[in-house]
Amino acid sequence: MLNFHDSVKDDHMPEISEQELSDEEVLKELRLLKEELKDQVVVLGHHYQNDDVISFADITGDSLALAREAAKLKKPYIVFCGVHFMAETADILVGPDQKVILPDLNAGCSMADMANREDIDKAWEFMQSSTDEKIVPITYINCAATLKSFVGDNGGSICTSSNAREVIEWAFTQGTKLLFFPDQHLGRNTCFKMGIKLEEMVVYNPNMYRGGLTAEQISKAKVILWYGYCSVHQGFTAQQITDLKKSKPNMTVIVHPECSFDVVQAAHDSGSTSYIIEKIKNAPAGSQFAVGTEINLVNRLAAQYTDKEIISLSPYQCLCTTMYRVRPRWLLASFRAIKKGQPINIVKVSDEMKKSSLKALERMLEIV
């Protein structure tokens, strides 16, 4: 079950009239309302959203791009077509008179749910008692505001898949050890590219006593990785790459760094969502790509760059199911509520938590 205890929520299910509309009627009314409310509302859309939702986005991007844009926005309502932690991040960055709305509050992130503040506090206490060296905490932006605030209060920074290397390099100028959470794969893949050996990294599993580690292991490790992962990207396998290289030897395999270590090592290239998009965009006509990331983005790239062959690395539909919960029908409910002056599904981070989280976000923006 998703646990969004970190921020204030105003839950809402669409009215019967909204449920009874056909898909075509929903889209038609959405277009009209979006035009009517254009001076009040801006819609942010993450790359993993389906095309019907993306068609209503004023700004599209990955987590870093949308975080940067959120900080610039002046309109009173920001409708975030993404997942819960993204809406929280936007609320941390926007002004006090602005409201951030998530069309479906159940649009969460399984990776973000793999780390909570209670477990992080317990792990931090154990780690601090296990070494005299300074540990710098870095959290992937895919986490709850409670964890962003922890990092802010403990001298660390947030990172995204686009800037993880820069942020980790910064962290090692601040201390000698790194705690990276919640995604073990992004942490491992990035640190390995930086020249850190696998044997210098350990994994802390919050489901085990003291993370399954001894004080000696903590003391010897350079990098402590949290046992978390993206269920979509963990679905890709090295065997899929081996098979594809045999059947399509001219195809370039490019994967997201949230994929497991063996997948990233087997692929021809790896990088963030924005990196993958730019790589395909700038490739010459006739290029062939097998992409290891969420299927909505892969399909959108294939439709956009018809002069290239672009397929999913996996033969299965690698869909982010929680992101998929944001549907045009729920988006319409948000717009109708704004028009009535009774906005719903507002995501609000407390002032105290916002202050601490902002420290970590500002550090990231200063670093990159």
* pLDDT higher than threshold 70 for residue 302: yes
The boundaries of the domain holding residue 49 are 16-107+322-349
Of the residues 212, 230, 248, the one at which a domain ends: 230
Domain-located, residue 74: yes
The residue out of 230, 259, 292 marking a domain boundary is: 230
The three-point CA angle 82-100-84 to 5° equals 35
Residue 82 within a domain:
yes
Strand order in the sheet with 157-159: 157-159, 135-140, 177-181, 223-226, 201-204
Distance set, CA 268 to CA 237, 247, 250 (Å): 14, 15, 11
Strand order in the sheet with 59-61: 59-61, 41-46, 77-81, 99-101
Residues 125 and 181 in one domain: yes
Q: What is the pLDDT of residues 76-126, one digit of tens each?
A: 999 999 999 999 999 998 999 999 999 999 998 889 999 999 999 999 999
d(CA 322, CA 311) in angstroms, rounded, equals 22
> Quick one: 81 and 174 in the same domain?
no
Neighbours of 261 (CB within 10 A): 16
Tokens of 249: 């030897």
Separation between Cα atoms, residue 295 and residue 293, nearest integer Å: 6
The structure tokens 């760094």 sit at 257
The pLDDT of residue 18 = 59
pLDDT at 146 over 90: yes
Is 362 a domain residue? no
Both 197 and 101 in a single domain? Answer: no
Same domain flag for 207 and 308 = no
252 and 307 within one domain: yes
User: Is residue 359 in some structural domain?
Assistant: no
Per cent of the chain over pLDDT 70 is: 95
Element (H, E) at 281: helix 273-282
Average pLDDT over residues 195-201: 98
Contacts 24+ apart (CB under 8 A), 280-284: 280/254, 280/305, 280/308, 280/310, 281/305, 283/308
For residue 368, tell me if it sits in a domain: no
Q: How many domains does the chain have?
A: 3
Together in a domain, 222 and 116 = yes
pLDDT per position as a tens digit, 336-363: 999 999 999 999 999 999 999 999 999 9
User: Looking at the structure, do residues 255 and 288 belong to the same domain, yes or no?
Assistant: yes
Contacts of 84 (CB under 8 A, 6+ apart): 2, 4, 102, 105, 107, 108, 109, 112, 144, 347
Q: What is the pTM of this model?
A: 0.88
Residues 219 and 281 in one domain: no
Spatial contact of 145 and 358, defined as CB atoms under 8 Å apart: no
Q: Identify whether residues 129 and 180 lie together within a single domain.
A: yes
| Same domain flag for 164 and 212 | yes
In a domain, 66, yes or no: yes
Q: Are residues 99 and 147 both part of a single domain? A: no
Quick one: the chain helix, strand, coil %, rounded to 5? 45, 15, 35
Confidence grade of residue 17 (pLDDT, cut at 50, 70, 90): low
pLDDT higher than threshold 90 for residue 64: no
CATH number, domain with residue 128: 3.40.50.10800
Instruction: Say if 6 falls within a structural domain.
Output: no
Residue 368, pLDDT above cutoff 90: no
Q: Is residue 366 one of the residues assigned to a domain?
A: no
Asked if 153 and 86 sit in the same domain, the reply is: no
Measuring CA to CA, which residue among 145, 129, 182, 139 is closest to residue 164? 139
pLDDT of the residue at 13: 47
pLDDT band of residue 8 (cuts 50, 70, 90) is: very low
Residue 9 has pLDDT above 80, yes or no: no
Give me 62's structure tokens: 């990955």
pLDDT level of residue 14 (50, 70, 90 thresholds): very low
Mean pLDDT of the chain: 92
pLDDT at 10 over 70: no
3-state secondary structure of 297: helix
Output the pLDDT for position 6.
42
d(CA 144, CA 146): 5
